[in-house]
Amino acid sequence: MLRSIKTKVLLLIVGIMLATALILVYFTKRDVGEAVLGMEEKSIRNAMYLIKLNVENEYKSLLFHKIAMLTERKEQMKSLAAVVMAGINDYQQLAEQGRIAEDEAKRLALDSIQKLRDESGAHFFVYDEHSVVLGHPNPALIGQDLSSLKDVKGLSLFDSMLKKSMREGDGYASFSWDDMNTGNTTKQLGYFVFYPKWNWMIATAIQTEDLEQEAEKKLNLVIKELKSTFDKTQIAKTGYLILFNGKKEILIDPRNSADALLAAKDPSSGELLLDKFMAAAKHPEQPIKYLWDDPSNTEDGQSRYESYAEYFKTLNWYIVSVARESEIQAPAKTVVLRQTLFIAVIFAASILIAYFLVKGISQHLKKLTDHAKQLPAHDFSAPETELPKIEQLAVKYKDEVGKLAEAFLFMEASLQQYIQDLKETTAAKERIESELAIARDIQMSILPKLFPAFPERPEFDIYATVKPAREVGGDFYDFFFVDESHLFFALGDVSGKGIPASLFMAVSTAFLRASATRGVNLDEVMARVNTKLCAGNDTCMFVTVFCGLLDIRTGEVICSDGGHNPPLLIASKDGVDFLHARKSSALGVFEDMRYYTQEFVLKEGDALFLYTDGVTEAMNTEDELYSEERLKESILELRDRPVKDITREMIERIEEFARGAPQADDITMLVLRYTGPAS
Amino acid sequence: MQQSRMKCFCRLLAMICAAAWMSFSSPVAEAAGENRQHTIAVSQFIKHPALDALLRGFMEHLESAQIPVKYVVHIANGDQALNESIARDIGAENPDLVLAISTPSSQACLKVLPNTTILFSAVTDPVGAGLVESLSKPGARITGMTDMSPIEQQIKLITGLVPELKTIGVIYNNNESNSVSLVRIIEQECARQGIGLVKKAVGNGKEVATAAQSLVGNCDAIYAPTDNTVVSVIESVARICAKHRLPLFAADVDSIPRGAVATLAIDYYSMGRQTGRMAERIFAGEAPSSMPVEWQEDLRIHVNTKAAEVMGVELPVDLLQAADVIYDSFPE
DSSP string over A310-368: EEEGGGTEEEEEEEEHHHHHHHHHHHHHHHHHHHHHHHHHHHHHHHHHHHHHHHHHHHH
Give the pLDDT confidence score for residue B27 in this predicted structure: 41
Residue among B97, B35, B42 nearest B67 (CA):
B35
| Pair A277, A269: CB distance under 8 Å | no
Distance separating alpha carbons of residues A168 and A191, to the nearest angstrom: 13
Residue among A120, A115, A113, A125 nearest A177 (CA):
A125
List pLDDT tens digits, range A415-428.
888 988 999 999 99
Q: DSSP secondary-structure letter at A32?
A: I
Q: Is residue B23 over pLDDT 60?
A: no
| Pair A666, A472: CB distance under 8 Å | no
Q: Between these two residues, B116 and A269, which has the higher pLDDT value?
A: B116
List pLDDT tens digits, range A561-597.
999 999 999 987 778 899 888 889 999 888 888 899 9
Name every chain A residue with its beta carbon within 8 A of the beta carbon of B193.
none
> Nearest CA of chain A to the CA of B86: how many Å?
35
SS3 A420: helix
CB contact under 8 A, B309 and A63: yes
Give the pLDDT confidence score for residue B99 in this predicted structure: 96
| Pair A2, A8: CB distance under 8 Å | yes
pTM of the model: 0.60
| Pair A205, A189: CB distance under 8 Å | yes
List pLDDT tens digits, range A233-253.
888 888 888 899 888 888 888
Give the pLDDT confidence score for residue B20 in this predicted structure: 43
Average pLDDT over residues B226-232: 88
Residue among B204, B202, B317, B325 nearest B270 (CA):
B325
CB contact under 8 A, A153 and B163: no
The half-sphere exposure of B10 on its side-chain side, counting CA atoms within 13 A, is 6
CB contact under 8 A, A67 and B305: yes
CB contact under 8 A, B309 and A164: no
Give the pLDDT confidence score for residue B11 in this predicted structure: 52
| Pair B315, A313: CB distance under 8 Å | no
Name every chain B residue with its beta carbon within 8 A of the beta carbon of A164.
298
Distance separating alpha carbons of residues A316 and A312, to the nearest angstrom: 6
> Nearest CA of chain B to the CA of A109: how many Å?
29
List pLDDT tens digits, range B66-103.
999 999 999 998 888 999 999 999 999 999 999 999 99
Give the pLDDT confidence score for residue A339 in this predicted structure: 85
Give the pLDDT confidence score for residue A453 in this predicted structure: 86
List pLDDT tens digits, range A182-226.
778 888 899 999 998 898 999 999 888 888 888 889 889 888 988
Average pLDDT over residues A460-488: 87
- Chain A residue with minimum CA distance to B242: A313
A283 touches chain B (CB under 8 A): no
- Amino acid A24 reads L
> Nearest CA of chain B to the CA of A255: how many Å?
29
H helices, E strands: number in chain B: 13, 13
Neighbours of A217 (CB within 10 A): 11
> Nearest CA of chain B to the CA of A24: how many Å?
43
Between positions 245 and 264 of B, the ones with CB within 8 A of A are: 245, 264
Distance separating alpha carbons of residues A326 and A306, to the nearest angstrom: 9
Distances (CA, A) of B245 to A62, A284, A470, B310: 20, 14, 125, 6
Label residue B172 by pLDDT band (50, 70, 90).
Answer: very high
Least confident of A515-519, B69-73, B215-219: A515-519
Q: Between these two residues, B280 and A404, which has the higher pLDDT value?
A: B280
Q: Residue A398: exposed, middle, or buried by beta-carbon count in 10 A (0-12, 13-18, 19+)?
A: exposed
Give the pLDDT confidence score for residue B189 in this predicted structure: 92
Average pLDDT over residues A367-378: 81
Q: Is residue B28 over pLDDT 80?
A: no
CB contact under 8 A, A174 and B318: yes
Distance separating alpha carbons of residues A533 and A632, to the nearest angstrom: 32
Q: DSSP secondary-structure letter at A181?
A: T
A515 touches chain B (CB under 8 A): no
Q: Residue B107: exposed, middle, or buried by beta-carbon count in 10 A (0-12, 13-18, 19+)?
A: buried
Give the pLDDT confidence score for residue B197 in this predicted structure: 95
Residue among A516, A677, A670 nearest A601 (CA):
A677
Least confident of A78-87, A171-180, A188-197: A171-180
Label residue A385 by pLDDT band (50, 70, 90).
Answer: low
Beta bridge partners of A549: A488, A558
Candidates B321, B325, B326, partner chain A, best to mutate (most A CBs within 10 A): B321
B298 touches chain A (CB under 8 A): yes
Give the pLDDT confidence score for residue B33 in this predicted structure: 43
Q: Is residue A545 over pLDDT 90?
A: yes
Label residue B173 by pLDDT band (50, 70, 90).
Answer: very high
Label residue A264 by pLDDT band (50, 70, 90).
Answer: confident
- Amino acid B107 reads Q
Average pLDDT over residues A26-42: 85
CB contact under 8 A, B326 and A316: no
Q: Report the alpha-carbon angle A235-A238-A242, nearest 5.
A: 55
Name every chain B residue with its beta carbon within 8 A of the beta carbon of A160.
297-299
| Pair A669, A464: CB distance under 8 Å | yes
Q: Is residue A118 over pLDDT 80?
A: no
Average pLDDT over residues A28-56: 86
Give the pLDDT confidence score for residue A661 in this predicted structure: 87
Label residue A123 by pLDDT band (50, 70, 90).
Answer: confident
Q: Report the alpha-carbon angle A86-A89-A94, nearest 5.
A: 130
Least confident of A138-152, A290-304, A544-558: A290-304
Average pLDDT over residues A287-306: 80
Rounded to an integer, what is the distance from CA A368 to the centroid of its chain? 27
Average pLDDT over residues A340-362: 86
Q: Where are the alpha helices (DSSP H) in A375-453?
A: 391-396, 400-446
Q: Is residue B198 over pLDDT 80?
A: yes
**Ramachandran region of residue B134, left (φ > 0), alpha (ψ -120 to 50) or beta?**
beta
Give the pLDDT confidence score for residue B25 in this predicted structure: 43
Q: Is residue B9 over pLDDT 50?
A: no
Q: Is residue B31 over pLDDT 60?
A: no
